[in-house]
Amino acid sequence: MAVVSFMLVLAFLILSIASPSNGGITSSYVRKTAASVDLPFDSLTSPPGYNAPEQVHITQGDHVGRGVIVSWVTPLEPGSKFVTYWKVGDDEHKKQAHASTNTYKFANYTSGFIHHATIKNLEYNTKYIYEVGNNNATRRFFFTTPPEVGPDVPYTFGVIGDLGQTYDSKQTLEHYNSNPKGQAVLFVGDLSYADHYPLHDNRRWDSWARLVEKNAAYQPWIWAAGNHEIDFLPENGETVPFKPFKHRYHVPYKASQSTSPLWYSVKRASAHIIVLSSYSAYGKYTPQYNWLETEFTKVNRSETPWLIVLLHSPWYNSDNYHFMEGESMRVMFEPWFVQNKVDIVFSGHVHAYERSERISNIAYKVSNGQCTPVLDPSAPVYITIGDGGNIEGLANNFTDPQPSYSAFREASFGHALLELKNRTHAYYSWHRNQDSERVVGDSLWFYNRHWYPQKESSDAATMA
d(CA 11, CA 5): 10
57 is catalytic: no
Residues 6+ apart with CB under 8 A from 423: 151, 152, 270, 305, 448, 451, 452
Contact 431, 439 (CB under 8 A): yes
d(CA 115, CA 137): 15
Provide the strand spans (E) within 361-449. 374-375, 381-385, 406-410, 414-420, 425-432, 442-447
Q: Given 63, 200, 228, 322, which residue is catalytic? A: 322
Q: Return the sign of the alpha-carbon dihedral for residues 264, 98, 132, 96.
A: positive
SS3 call for 351: coil
Contact 73, 54 (CB under 8 A): yes
CA-wise closest residue to 419 among 408, 430, 410: 430
Residues 6+ apart with CB under 8 A from 120: 61, 62, 66, 67, 97
Burial 35-67, CB ≥16 within 10 A → b, else e: ebebbeeeebebeeeebbbbbbbbbbbbbbbbb
CA-wise closest residue to 145 among 125, 130, 131: 125
Bond preceding residue 53 cis, omega within 30 of 0: no
DSSP string, 83-134: EEEEETT-TTS-EEEEEEEE--EETTEE--EEEEEEE-SPPTT-EEEEEES-
d(CA 95, CA 311): 36
List, in sequence order, every residue forming a beta bridge with 87; answer none if it has no partner. 128
Active site residues: 322
